[in-house]
Amino acid sequence: MKIIPKTNIDFIGKRYYFFALSALVIISGFISIYLKGLNLGLDFTGGTLIQVKVNSGENISQIRKIMKDNSIDAQIRSYDNNSFGIMVKGSQENVNEYAQKIITALDEAGVKFEEEKRDFVGPVVGKELAKKAIFAIVLSMFGIIVYIAFRFTNPVWGITGVIGLLHDVMVAIAAMSLTNREIDLVIVAALLTIAGYSINDTIVIYDRMRENIKKFPKMPFGELINTSINETLSRTIITSLTVIMVLVILFFFGGSGIADFSFCMLVGSITGVYSTLAIATTIAYEWQKQ
Protein backbone atom coordinates (compact mmCIF):
# COMPACT_ATOMS: atom_id res chain seq x y z
CA MET A 1 0.00 0.00 0.00
CA LYS A 2 1.32 3.43 -1.00
CA ILE A 3 0.03 6.36 1.03
CA ILE A 4 1.97 8.85 -1.11
CA PRO A 5 2.00 8.22 -4.88
CA LYS A 6 5.20 8.18 -6.92
CA THR A 7 6.61 11.68 -7.44
CA ASN A 8 8.85 13.26 -10.04
CA ILE A 9 9.98 16.52 -8.45
CA ASP A 10 13.01 18.29 -9.93
CA PHE A 11 14.92 19.12 -6.74
CA ILE A 12 18.16 19.80 -8.59
CA GLY A 13 16.52 22.28 -10.94
CA LYS A 14 15.11 24.25 -7.98
CA ARG A 15 18.33 24.19 -5.94
CA TYR A 16 19.04 27.92 -6.20
CA TYR A 17 15.59 28.72 -4.78
CA PHE A 18 16.37 26.39 -1.87
CA PHE A 19 19.76 28.04 -1.32
CA ALA A 20 18.17 31.51 -1.36
CA LEU A 21 15.46 30.51 1.14
CA SER A 22 17.96 28.99 3.56
CA ALA A 23 20.29 31.98 3.25
CA LEU A 24 17.38 34.35 3.97
CA VAL A 25 16.41 32.52 7.18
CA ILE A 26 19.97 32.13 8.46
CA ILE A 27 20.97 35.72 7.67
CA SER A 28 17.80 36.98 9.38
CA GLY A 29 18.82 34.97 12.44
CA PHE A 30 22.34 36.38 12.40
CA ILE A 31 20.96 39.93 12.15
CA SER A 32 18.64 39.22 15.09
CA ILE A 33 21.53 37.84 17.15
CA TYR A 34 23.70 40.85 16.25
CA LEU A 35 21.01 43.39 17.16
CA LYS A 36 19.64 41.90 20.36
CA GLY A 37 21.83 38.89 21.16
CA LEU A 38 20.64 35.49 22.29
CA ASN A 39 18.21 35.15 25.18
CA LEU A 40 20.51 33.05 27.34
CA GLY A 41 19.03 31.13 30.23
CA LEU A 42 20.12 31.06 33.84
CA ASP A 43 22.52 28.20 33.08
CA PHE A 44 24.67 30.67 31.16
CA THR A 45 23.97 33.98 32.92
CA GLY A 46 23.71 33.03 36.60
CA GLY A 47 21.02 34.13 39.03
CA THR A 48 19.19 33.65 42.31
CA LEU A 49 18.12 30.20 43.49
CA ILE A 50 15.65 29.77 46.32
CA GLN A 51 14.59 26.26 47.31
CA VAL A 52 11.32 25.86 49.20
CA LYS A 53 9.46 22.89 50.65
CA VAL A 54 5.73 23.29 50.02
CA ASN A 55 3.46 21.94 52.77
CA SER A 56 0.10 22.94 51.28
CA GLY A 57 0.14 20.50 48.33
CA GLU A 58 0.76 22.83 45.35
CA ASN A 59 2.38 21.18 42.33
CA ILE A 60 4.96 22.58 39.91
CA SER A 61 2.29 23.90 37.51
CA GLN A 62 0.64 25.89 40.29
CA ILE A 63 3.98 27.29 41.48
CA ARG A 64 4.81 28.27 37.90
CA LYS A 65 1.44 30.03 37.55
CA ILE A 66 2.01 31.96 40.79
CA MET A 67 5.36 33.21 39.50
CA LYS A 68 3.83 34.16 36.15
CA ASP A 69 0.93 36.01 37.79
CA ASN A 70 3.45 38.09 39.72
CA SER A 71 5.55 38.86 36.62
CA ILE A 72 8.47 36.80 37.91
CA ASP A 73 10.34 35.15 35.03
CA ALA A 74 11.54 32.01 36.78
CA GLN A 75 12.78 28.53 35.99
CA ILE A 76 11.26 25.97 38.34
CA ARG A 77 12.55 22.50 39.07
CA SER A 78 10.90 19.85 41.20
CA TYR A 79 12.79 17.85 43.83
CA ASP A 80 11.85 15.10 46.28
CA ASN A 81 9.46 15.66 49.22
CA ASN A 82 7.51 18.36 47.35
CA SER A 83 10.47 20.74 47.25
CA PHE A 84 10.94 23.20 44.40
CA GLY A 85 13.93 25.14 43.17
CA ILE A 86 12.88 28.58 41.89
CA MET A 87 15.56 30.34 39.86
CA VAL A 88 15.56 33.93 38.57
CA LYS A 89 18.20 35.69 36.48
CA GLY A 90 20.07 38.45 38.30
CA SER A 91 23.37 39.61 39.75
CA GLN A 92 24.88 38.25 42.94
CA GLU A 93 24.37 41.57 44.72
CA ASN A 94 20.57 41.31 44.32
CA VAL A 95 20.06 37.77 45.64
CA ASN A 96 18.00 38.85 48.66
CA GLU A 97 15.90 41.26 46.58
CA TYR A 98 14.88 38.56 44.09
CA ALA A 99 14.39 35.99 46.84
CA GLN A 100 12.05 38.36 48.69
CA LYS A 101 9.94 38.85 45.56
CA ILE A 102 9.52 35.08 45.28
CA ILE A 103 8.64 34.69 48.97
CA THR A 104 6.13 37.55 48.79
CA ALA A 105 4.46 36.01 45.74
CA LEU A 106 4.12 32.64 47.49
CA ASP A 107 2.78 34.26 50.69
CA GLU A 108 0.18 36.30 48.81
CA ALA A 109 -0.99 33.15 46.99
CA GLY A 110 -1.56 31.41 50.34
CA VAL A 111 1.16 28.81 49.85
CA LYS A 112 2.48 27.28 53.05
CA PHE A 113 6.20 26.62 52.68
CA GLU A 114 9.55 26.44 54.36
CA GLU A 115 12.62 28.07 52.82
CA GLU A 116 15.35 25.44 52.59
CA LYS A 117 18.08 27.26 50.68
CA ARG A 118 18.90 30.65 49.21
CA ASP A 119 21.93 31.07 46.98
CA PHE A 120 23.45 32.62 43.86
CA VAL A 121 23.97 30.16 41.00
CA GLY A 122 26.99 31.11 38.90
CA PRO A 123 27.22 30.51 35.16
CA VAL A 124 30.57 28.68 35.38
CA VAL A 125 29.10 25.18 35.16
CA GLY A 126 26.88 26.18 32.25
CA LYS A 127 29.80 27.65 30.33
CA GLU A 128 31.89 24.54 30.92
CA LEU A 129 29.07 22.30 29.72
CA ALA A 130 28.55 24.56 26.70
CA LYS A 131 32.22 24.14 25.75
CA LYS A 132 31.85 20.39 26.05
CA ALA A 133 28.69 20.48 23.94
CA ILE A 134 30.47 22.44 21.19
CA PHE A 135 33.35 19.97 21.34
CA ALA A 136 30.86 17.09 21.09
CA ILE A 137 29.22 18.65 18.01
CA VAL A 138 32.58 19.19 16.28
CA LEU A 139 33.74 15.67 17.12
CA SER A 140 30.47 14.14 15.93
CA MET A 141 30.66 16.06 12.64
CA PHE A 142 34.18 14.79 12.05
CA GLY A 143 32.98 11.26 12.80
CA ILE A 144 30.07 11.65 10.36
CA ILE A 145 32.42 12.77 7.57
CA VAL A 146 34.73 9.82 8.19
CA TYR A 147 31.82 7.33 8.40
CA ILE A 148 30.08 8.51 5.22
CA ALA A 149 33.36 8.78 3.34
CA PHE A 150 34.19 5.19 4.33
CA ARG A 151 30.71 3.79 3.70
CA PHE A 152 30.07 5.52 0.38
CA THR A 153 33.73 5.87 -0.69
CA ASN A 154 33.05 9.55 -1.28
CA PRO A 155 34.29 12.22 1.18
CA VAL A 156 32.27 14.88 -0.65
CA TRP A 157 29.05 13.22 0.49
CA GLY A 158 30.31 13.23 4.08
CA ILE A 159 31.14 16.93 3.93
CA THR A 160 27.81 17.88 2.31
CA GLY A 161 25.98 15.79 4.91
CA VAL A 162 27.66 17.82 7.66
CA ILE A 163 26.82 21.06 5.79
CA GLY A 164 23.15 20.00 5.88
CA LEU A 165 23.49 19.24 9.58
CA LEU A 166 25.04 22.65 10.28
CA HIS A 167 22.25 24.25 8.25
CA ASP A 168 19.63 22.68 10.54
CA VAL A 169 21.37 23.76 13.74
CA MET A 170 21.79 27.34 12.45
CA VAL A 171 18.14 27.55 11.37
CA ALA A 172 17.03 26.31 14.81
CA ILE A 173 19.23 28.92 16.55
CA ALA A 174 17.93 31.60 14.17
CA ALA A 175 14.34 30.64 15.00
CA MET A 176 15.09 30.78 18.75
CA SER A 177 16.59 34.26 18.35
CA LEU A 178 13.83 35.62 16.09
CA THR A 179 11.16 34.46 18.54
CA ASN A 180 13.23 35.57 21.57
CA ARG A 181 13.06 32.14 23.19
CA GLU A 182 15.42 31.26 26.01
CA ILE A 183 18.48 29.14 25.30
CA ASP A 184 19.70 26.97 28.15
CA LEU A 185 21.37 23.58 28.49
CA VAL A 186 18.12 21.82 27.56
CA ILE A 187 18.18 23.66 24.22
CA VAL A 188 21.82 22.60 23.74
CA ALA A 189 20.61 19.01 24.16
CA ALA A 190 17.86 19.70 21.60
CA LEU A 191 20.43 21.01 19.10
CA LEU A 192 22.52 17.85 19.53
CA THR A 193 19.39 15.75 18.98
CA ILE A 194 18.55 17.72 15.82
CA ALA A 195 22.06 17.07 14.50
CA GLY A 196 21.65 13.32 14.96
CA TYR A 197 18.14 13.30 13.51
CA SER A 198 19.15 15.37 10.49
CA ILE A 199 21.91 13.08 9.25
CA ASN A 200 19.67 9.99 9.41
CA ASP A 201 17.51 10.87 6.38
CA THR A 202 20.56 12.11 4.49
CA ILE A 203 22.25 8.72 4.84
CA VAL A 204 19.10 6.96 3.59
CA ILE A 205 19.09 9.05 0.40
CA TYR A 206 22.85 8.67 -0.07
CA ASP A 207 22.40 4.91 0.22
CA ARG A 208 19.77 4.98 -2.54
CA MET A 209 22.07 7.14 -4.66
CA ARG A 210 24.83 4.55 -4.27
CA GLU A 211 22.46 1.78 -5.33
CA ASN A 212 21.28 3.75 -8.36
CA ILE A 213 24.86 4.53 -9.44
CA LYS A 214 25.39 0.77 -9.73
CA LYS A 215 22.06 0.23 -11.53
CA PHE A 216 22.33 3.18 -13.90
CA PRO A 217 26.05 3.93 -14.37
CA LYS A 218 25.40 6.17 -17.41
CA MET A 219 22.60 8.23 -15.85
CA PRO A 220 23.49 11.94 -15.42
CA PHE A 221 24.31 12.73 -11.79
CA GLY A 222 21.56 15.35 -11.43
CA GLU A 223 18.91 12.97 -12.75
CA LEU A 224 20.23 10.22 -10.48
CA ILE A 225 19.89 12.47 -7.41
CA ASN A 226 16.32 13.45 -8.37
CA THR A 227 15.41 9.80 -8.92
CA SER A 228 16.89 8.75 -5.57
CA ILE A 229 15.13 11.53 -3.64
CA ASN A 230 11.75 10.82 -5.28
CA GLU A 231 12.10 7.08 -4.64
CA THR A 232 12.66 7.68 -0.90
CA LEU A 233 10.33 10.69 -0.56
CA SER A 234 7.35 8.68 0.69
CA ARG A 235 9.46 7.04 3.40
CA THR A 236 10.98 10.39 4.40
CA ILE A 237 7.63 12.15 4.72
CA ILE A 238 5.84 9.35 6.59
CA THR A 239 8.61 8.73 9.14
CA SER A 240 9.16 12.45 9.68
CA LEU A 241 5.45 13.14 10.17
CA THR A 242 5.34 10.68 13.09
CA VAL A 243 8.03 12.72 14.86
CA ILE A 244 6.57 16.11 13.91
CA MET A 245 3.05 15.18 15.10
CA VAL A 246 4.40 14.25 18.54
CA LEU A 247 6.37 17.50 18.74
CA VAL A 248 3.33 19.56 17.71
CA ILE A 249 1.34 17.96 20.55
CA LEU A 250 4.18 18.63 23.01
CA PHE A 251 4.44 22.25 21.87
CA PHE A 252 0.74 23.06 22.18
CA PHE A 253 -0.21 20.86 25.14
CA GLY A 254 3.07 20.13 26.96
CA GLY A 255 2.99 23.30 29.05
CA SER A 256 5.37 26.22 29.35
CA GLY A 257 8.05 24.10 31.04
CA ILE A 258 9.00 22.37 27.78
CA ALA A 259 7.64 24.91 25.27
CA ASP A 260 11.07 26.21 24.23
CA PHE A 261 12.50 22.70 23.95
CA SER A 262 9.59 21.39 21.87
CA PHE A 263 9.69 24.51 19.66
CA CYS A 264 13.40 24.03 18.96
CA MET A 265 12.90 20.33 18.24
CA LEU A 266 9.91 21.05 15.99
CA VAL A 267 11.84 23.61 13.92
CA GLY A 268 14.86 21.31 13.76
CA SER A 269 12.81 18.28 12.67
CA ILE A 270 11.10 20.20 9.87
CA THR A 271 14.30 21.80 8.62
CA GLY A 272 16.06 18.42 8.96
CA VAL A 273 13.75 16.95 6.33
CA TYR A 274 14.09 20.06 4.17
CA SER A 275 17.90 20.07 4.29
CA THR A 276 18.08 16.40 3.34
CA LEU A 277 15.92 16.92 0.27
CA ALA A 278 17.02 20.40 -0.77
CA ILE A 279 20.42 21.25 0.70
CA ALA A 280 22.80 18.32 1.32
CA THR A 281 22.09 16.43 -1.91
CA THR A 282 21.91 19.55 -4.09
CA ILE A 283 25.22 20.84 -2.71
CA ALA A 284 26.72 17.43 -3.48
CA TYR A 285 25.53 17.86 -7.07
CA GLU A 286 26.84 21.43 -7.26
CA TRP A 287 30.19 20.27 -5.91
CA GLN A 288 30.64 17.20 -8.11
CA LYS A 289 29.41 18.73 -11.37
CA GLN A 290 32.53 20.93 -11.46
Per-residue pLDDT reduced to its tens digit, 158-183: 888 888 888 998 999 999 999 988 88
Per-residue pLDDT reduced to its tens digit, 7-65: 788 899 999 999 999 999 999 999 999 998 888 877 777 788 888 888 888 888 888 88
Residues of each domain in the chain carrying CATH 3.30.70.100:
47-121
Rounded Cα distance between 66 and 2, Å, is 51
CATH architecture of 15-40+125-288: Up-down Bundle (1.20)
| Cβ(54)–Cβ(82) below 8 Å | yes
Measured in degrees and rounded to the nearest 5, phi and psi for residue 122 equal -80, 160
Measured in degrees and rounded to the nearest 5, phi and psi for residue 118 equal -140, 125
What is the per-residue burial (b if ≥16 Cβ within 10 Å, else e) of 183-201?
bbbbbbebbeebbebbbeb
Write down the pLDDT at residue 258: 83
Average pLDDT over residues 192-209: 84
Rounded Cα distance between 20 and 61, Å, is 43
Min mean pLDDT across 53-57, 202-206, 281-285, 286-290 is at 286-290
The residue among 164, 168, 171 whose CA lies nearest residue 281 is: 164
Q: Has residue 290 got a pLDDT over 60?
A: no
Q: CB under 8 Å to 215, separation ≥6 — which residues?
A: none
Higher pLDDT, 59 or 137: 59
Write down the pLDDT at residue 136: 74
Amino acid at 102: I
Q: pTM for this structure? A: 0.80
| Long-range residue pairs from 100-109, CB within 8 A, at least 24 positions apart, any chain | 101/70, 101/72, 102/48, 102/50, 102/67, 102/72, 102/74, 103/50, 104/70, 105/66, 105/67, 105/69, 105/70, 105/72, 106/52, 106/63, 106/66, 108/70, 109/66, 109/69
Per-residue pLDDT reduced to its tens digit, 216-270: 888 898 899 999 999 888 888 888 888 899 999 999 888 777 888 999 999 999 9
Residues of each domain in the chain carrying CATH 1.20.1640.10:
15-40+125-288
Sheet arrangement for strand 74-78: 74-78, 83-89, 47-54, 113-121
Average pLDDT over residues 188-192: 84
Confidence class for position 116, pLDDT limits 50, 70, 90: confident
CATH architecture of 47-121: 2-Layer Sandwich (3.30)
Q: Has residue 124 got a pLDDT over 70?
A: no
Confidence class for position 192, pLDDT limits 50, 70, 90: confident
Measured in whole angstroms, how far is the alpha carbon of residue 142 from the centre of its chain?
A: 20
Min mean pLDDT across 102-106, 131-135, 251-255 is at 131-135
Write down the pLDDT at residue 125: 58
Write down the pLDDT at residue 23: 93
Write down the pLDDT at residue 204: 86
